[in-house]
């Protein structure tokens, strides 16, 4: 629920080496100077808010409101970090988010790989119907379920507990579809069949044949799910309170007036963004690849 993960697009299979920025001879053209200038402007706009967050988080409230602004970070970063940690228990929020996003990513990847394997390579009755149903669930807006889900959590005694944000997002239709598409091509029928001939059970084949082959796609799905779960907003603020927040709930509390100091708000925002930004900087290439791969395979 409320997971904003990319969905796949209908499209053609990729043909490597054929690019649309091509000249008469069908060769890909180099970008002109203007291309680089425009791209640089776009990149500046993309990263400017990050830079602004750092600027604001490292100054004091009075300096932040100077016009024109200071272009260099100030020296109050750690003081503001500490204030944010004290004000809304950002430390607990970070730990909570780590637990939630870790569980959701692990669960989504495991269940999606299992189901994706079944849909891609195993024969069973109602397979296409069930696959259609799975994809159909992606169209349902999450608001439809929020109220009963909230009541359900109250009945289970899970409201304000992390279970309430973990369990409803533990499976994702997108994930199932993503893994199916990947395994359809990446896992040769012959390998599954060879396992059968050797007398291996389906589970055995899953563990020793499917998992090693699926690893790259599992990594991409894991990262995307982790990011989406970390950034999830609507459902956590409905079911969690400021006593046991995830990072997004804590940031929401920072922003809704509990903390009057804007540089502390920005310090908290920065704390909440840094982990996922670090993932992004380290694994950006794979994330980009995963999104593009998900986009083309239809």
Partner 1 sequence: MAVATTESPLEKALPPPGGSSWRSRRARWDLKFSPYAFVSPFFVLFAAFGLYPLIWTAWTSLHKVELENPDQSSWVGLKNYTDLLTDHNFWNAFRNTFQMGVLSTVPQLLMALGLAHLLNYKLRGRTFWRVAVLSPFATSVAAATLVFAQLFGRDYGFINWVLHFFGIHNIDFQNGTWSAQIAISVIVTWRWTGYNALIYLAAMQAIPGELYESAAMDGANRWQQFRHVTIPGLRPTIVFTIVVSTIGASQLFGEPLLFSGGGSNPEMGGVNRQFQTLSMYFYERGFTDQHLGRAAAIAWAMFLMIVLFVLINTLLARRTRSAK
Site for partner 1 in 46-75 (CB under 8 A): 46-47, 49-50, 52-53, 56, 64-69
Instruction: Report if residue 216 touches partner 1, rule: CB under 8 A.
Output: no
Long-range contacts (CB closer than 8 Å, 24 or more residues apart) made by 75-79: 76/263, 77/267
Structure tokens at 170: 């533990």
The span of 74-82, 83-91, 185-193, 212-220 binding partner 1 (CB under 8 A) equals 185-193
Tell me which of 70, 95, 132, 147 binds partner 1, using CB under 8 A: 147
Tell me which of 109, 254, 264, 267 binds partner 1, using CB under 8 A: 254
Q: Distance between CA 184 and CA 182 in Å, rounded?
A: 5
User: Which residues does residue 22 pair with via DSSP β-bridges, in sequence order?
Assistant: 28
Using DSSP's 3-state secondary structure scheme, residue 69 falls into coil
Tell me which of 99, 106, 202, 244 binds partner 1, using CB under 8 A: 202
Residue with tokens 């944000």: 165
Tell me which of 79, 102, 142, 160 binds partner 1, using CB under 8 A: 142
Neighbours of 71 (CB within 10 A): 7
The span of 71-79, 98-106, 162-170, 214-222 binding partner 1 (CB under 8 A) equals 162-170
267 to 286: interface string for partner 1, x by CB under 8 A: --x--xx--xx-xxx--xx-
Tell me which of 82, 193, 207, 215 binds partner 1, using CB under 8 A: 193
- CA-to-CA dists, residue 238 to 94, 143, 232, angstroms: 18, 11, 11
Task: Give 15's contacts (C-beta < 8 A, 6+ positions apart).
Answer: none
State in angstroms the smallest separation of the CB of 145 from partner 1: 3
Instruction: Report if residue 208 touches partner 1, rule: CB under 8 A.
Output: no
101 near 229, Cβ under 8 Å?
yes
Instruction: Report if residue 129 touches partner 1, rule: CB under 8 A.
Output: no
* Per-residue DSSP letter, 170: S
209 near 221, Cβ under 8 Å?
no
List the interface residues with partner 1, window 3-42 (CB under 8 A).
4, 6-7, 9-15, 18-26, 28-32, 35-36, 38-39, 42
Instruction: Report if residue 201 touches partner 1, rule: CB under 8 A.
Output: yes
């Amino acid at each position: 629920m409320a997971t904003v993960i990319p969905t796949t697009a209908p499209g053609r299979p990729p043909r490597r080496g054929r690019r649309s920025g091509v000249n008469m001879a069908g060769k890909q053209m180099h970008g002109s100077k203007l291309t680089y200038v425009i791209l640089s402007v776009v990149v500046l706009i993309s990263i400017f808010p990050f830079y602004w967050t750092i600027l604001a988080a490292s100054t004091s409230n009075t300096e932040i409101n100077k016009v024109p602004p200071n272009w260099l970070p100030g020296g109050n970063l750690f003081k503001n970090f500490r204030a944010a940690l004290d004000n809304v228990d950002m430390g607990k929020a970070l730990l909570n988010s780590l637990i939630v996003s870790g569980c959701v990513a692990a669960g989504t990847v495991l269940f999606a790989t299992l189901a994706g394997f079944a849909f891609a390579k195993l024969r069973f009755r109602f397979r296409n119907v069930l696959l259609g149903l799975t994809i159909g669930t992606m169209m349902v807006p999450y608001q439809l379920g929020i109220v009963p889900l909230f009541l359900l959590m109250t009945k289970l005694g899970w409201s304000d507990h992390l279970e309430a944000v973990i369990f409803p997002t533990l499976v994702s239709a997108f994930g199932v579809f993503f893994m199916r598409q990947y395994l359809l091509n990446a896992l040769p029928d012959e390998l599954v069949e060879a396992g059968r001939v050797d007398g291996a059970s389906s589970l055995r084949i899953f563990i020793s044949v499917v998992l090693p082959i699926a690893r790259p796609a599992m990594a991409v799905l894991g990262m995307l799910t982790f990011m989406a779960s970390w950034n999830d907003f609507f459902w956590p603020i409905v079911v969690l309170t400021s006593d046991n927040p995830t990072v997004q709930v804590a940031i929401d509390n920072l922003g809704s007036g509990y903390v009057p100091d804007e540089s502390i708000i920005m310090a908290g925002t920065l704390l909440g963004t840094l982990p996922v930004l670090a993932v992004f900087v380290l694994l950006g290439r794979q994330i980009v690849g995963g999104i593009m791969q998900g986009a083309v395979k239809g």
